[in-house]
Structure 1
Amino acid sequence: MNRSVTLRQIEVFVHVARGGNLTAAAVRLGLSQSAASMSLGELERLLGGPLFHRVGRGLCLNDRGRSLLPSAEAVLLAFRDFSDRAGGEGGLSGDLVVACSTTIANYLFPSCMKAFLEAHRGLSLSLDVGNTEEIAEEVRKGEADLGLVEGDCADQGLVTEKWLRDELLLCASPRHPLVTARSVPLSRLAGETWIFREEGAGTLSTLLKAFAEEDFFPDRILHIGHTEAIKRAVEAGLGVSCLSRFALSRELRSGDLALIDTPFRPHRWFCLIHRRGPRSAALTLLVDWLLDRRSLLT
């Protein structure tokens, strides 16, 4: 490789390759669009040819660009690891991007984020929120360093580690007649309106799988795309729902919602996902810290 190639040019190449858009890459790197364009153009000149096809306003890797992308990503990972380790005895330094599923982002990770940053002041964390498929794609492309997901991740290019066991609890308005009943079977709830998350949500996929195992399906279903909105609807008496114990803790303490006593208590695992291969010292520290903290969160 030509010795005049700079780390900044490699950064621009990798970010454009990940997003297919020069403007978005410039914003993420804190550059003007013209500076990013000049950097990419100079890299292509130094390497003796284009790395992208120009498709409308977007950029798509050509075969040469695809062959060089893994090496470019490895260069950035090695540099990040060098920067992390250069923190010396005073601690690591660097920036990590963590992508979380909705339940984890809303009810678990903010407190973890605060505690971690207080303990490791040389590091900074950014938080993205999405569903499991979106997060796996971010991690696979290197747009996020770590994913915390509540759904199954079958991507063979990623490492999945179990983090926290979660239960889905059947909740209703405190005024619902079944709140005072004992050991309510699912069959008594067939005629209730069940309020679910939207298609693709990890909570919904876990719940539907559990229903199938019980040979049960509700007569009436209402989909609402946010857990907080579901809780308000249940509180108002619109129906019943089955939500993460982490999402329900505040309302159960305040009495705004109540649990229905039932043997139906499906569970799932919240998992950590990251790319295979070498990890930076900062990412290793974060993963180990989250695994060590499990007993404080259960």
Structure 2
Amino acid sequence: MIRSLLVYRTVVEQGSFTRAGEKLFLTQSSVSRIIEALEEEYGVRLLDRTTKSVRPTAAGKIVYHYAVSALTRDSETRQQLRELRDEPAGLLSIGAGFTYGEYILPHAIAAFIRRYPLVQPKITIMNSGRIARRVSEGILQLGIVEGDITVDGIIRMPFAEDELVVVVPPQHRLAQTPEIGLADLANEPWILRESGSAIRQIVDRVFSDHHIAPNRLMEFGSSQIIKASVIAGLGIAMMSEWSIRSEVRQGLLVPLRLRNYPVISNFCCVIAASEFQPKVVTVFRDFLTEFRIPESSHV
């Protein structure tokens, strides 16, 4: 049946028995016999044939979509069976939030590929909520998110911690004070990530816990522009320590910690809530729990 569905799908996509036969290395008569047997199996005519083209009937369109789905599942099953015998290989589609995706994931992927060179990573960077939704929809195989993400149909597993710090330029009045109270910054202009991002959720919770409502807020959509804006003196921000390491080393930003209130978040791996996962996904998930960036890396 799988072979018949492959032939049928190819005929529909090529719009021709002859071109389908050429693509599948079959004679036109062989293709015709397979299609006729499939029509007999389903008891309906699947294709409208003219001298110039072949088009699916209404019933044929239904069978075409079934064929595409069945052939995809067959390919995935064969891949999983191969993986039982072999090392991880093939496509690994990963989505990551901005902090992990831009500052840590490149190092993790490089180390993973050195260990498993047959893996082909495909990386998508976007905010954590969208990543989780795409995993639940099957668009991504694995996601790396931060913060409290609640989406149906996923499994969420913390694997590393992230600390957030207040960042100010070196000339700021509190730059020489390593620990501060948030009330000291209530009247400062704050630069925040957009609503819906994991970092913004954490910062909003910190403000709520300290009963602080800053008078001046700006929203920017990327960590890079927030850092550049703080350096330029436009305001202050709360950011992941990972994202500012390079600027701190260069003396462009100063990190400040909140007194008696460490702001700790978790990086979490999310996968679809399914009994079966491709081997490449489970191996990468386990790899994340052990991965540490070497001290010599310039993050």
TM-score, length-normalised on structure 1? 0.74
1:268 has 2:265 as partner: yes
SS at match of 2:245: helix
Instruction: Tell me how far apart the structure 1 counterparts of residues 257 and 290 of structure 2 sit (CA, whole Å).
Output: 32
In structure 2, the CA distance between the partners of 1:124 and 1:2, relative to structure 1 (3 Å rule), is closer
SS at match of 2:285: helix
Instruction: Tell me how far apart the structure 1 counterparts of residues 120 and 254 of structure 2 sit (CA, whole Å).
Output: 38
Q: Which amino acid aligns with 1:268?
A: S
SS at match of 2:268: strand
1:195 has 2:194 as partner: no
Shift of 1:295: 8.2
Preserved contact between residue 181 and residue 261 of structure 1 (Cα < 8 Å): no
Instruction: Tell me how far apart the structure 2 counterparts of residues 6 and 141 of structure 1 sit (CA, whole Å).
Output: 25
Instruction: Tell me how far apart the structure 2 counterparts of residues 7 and 100 of structure 1 sit (CA, whole Å).
Output: 38
Q: Deviations over 1:80-115 (max 9, x none)?
A: 21243353xxx3321111111111111010011111
Instruction: Tell me how far apart the structure 1 counterparts of residues 185 and 64 of structure 2 sit (CA, whole Å).
Output: 56
List runs of 5+ in structure 2 lacking aligned partners. Answer: 14-22, 24-34, 47-60
Alignment equivalent of 1:181, drawn from 155, 163, 177: 177
Corresponding residue of 2:123: 127
Preserved contact between residue 173 and residue 256 of structure 1 (Cα < 8 Å): yes
Q: Deviations over 1:257-290 (max 9, x none)?
A: 0123532432211100001221112211111111
SS at match of 1:126: strand
Instruction: Tell me how far apart the structure 1 counterparts of residues 220 and 236 of structure 2 sit (CA, whole Å).
Output: 12
RMSD across aligned positions (CA): 3.3
Instruction: Tell me how far apart the structure 2 counterparts of residues 246 and 132 of structure 1 sit (CA, whole Å).
Output: 17
Shift of 1:138: 1.9
Corresponding residue of 1:216: 212
Instruction: Tell me how far apart the structure 2 counterparts of residues 225 and 49 of structure 1 sit (CA, whole Å).
Output: 54
Preserved contact between residue 6 and residue 71 of structure 2 (Cα < 8 Å): no
1:253 has 2:285 as partner: no
Which piece of structure 1 moves more, 193-202 or 68-77? 68-77
Instruction: Tell me how far apart the structure 1 counterparts of residues 130 and 67 of structure 2 sit (CA, whole Å).
Output: 24
Alignment equivalent of 1:230, drawn from 226, 230, 234: 226
Q: Which amino acid aligns with 2:276?
A: P
1:279 has 2:277 as partner: yes
SS at match of 2:174: helix
In structure 2, the CA distance between the partners of 1:92 and 1:177, relative to structure 1 (3 Å rule), is same
1:115 has 2:142 as partner: no
In structure 2, the CA distance between the partners of 1:182 and 1:4, relative to structure 1 (3 Å rule), is closer
Instruction: Tell me how far apart the structure 2 counterparts of residues 7 and 104 of structure 1 sit (CA, whole Å).
Output: 44
Instruction: Tell me how far apart the structure 2 counterparts of residues 7 and 240 of structure 1 sit (CA, whole Å).
Output: 62
Q: Which amino acid aligns with 2:78?
A: F
Shift of 1:215: 1.3
Q: Which amino acid aligns with 1:81?
A: Q
Corresponding residue of 2:235: 239
Preserved contact between residue 183 and residue 261 of structure 1 (Cα < 8 Å): yes
Corresponding residue of 2:78: 79
Aligned-pair identity (%): 23
TM-score, length-normalised on structure 2? 0.74
